[in-house]
Amino acid sequence: MKKVFKRVLYIILGYIFFVFIYCFTQVIIVNLLGFRISFLQTLIESILTCLFIYLLLCFTYTFILYSYSNIIANKLNKKLEKLKNGGKKDEK
């Protein structure tokens, strides 16, 4: 239960940090182009957009980690099977 709460807290804090970075970057770029835009206005307008992008990135990252873990586990299982079967002929 504690692990789940910690994971959810990390996701929420990561989302908040992601929104602020996204909005801050957008305000800087728009100001460099010569226009004026409010940080608060940008923050309010981009909350749903950032939520979609952040969830997509989280799911992609989780899928990549899961796939990588499976690949590593399969490689280690093959090596373990070789060791159980006596290894290479040179090792006997």
pTM for the full predicted model: 0.70
Angle at which helices 2-32 and 47-84 cross, to 10°: 130
Helix or strand (DSSP H, E) at 86: none
Contacts of 23 (CB under 8 A, 6+ apart): 39, 42, 43, 46
Residue pLDDT, tens place only, 39-91 = 888 889 899 999 999 999 999 999 999 999 999 999 999 999 888 887 666 55
Q: What is the largest CA-CA distance in the chain?
A: 75
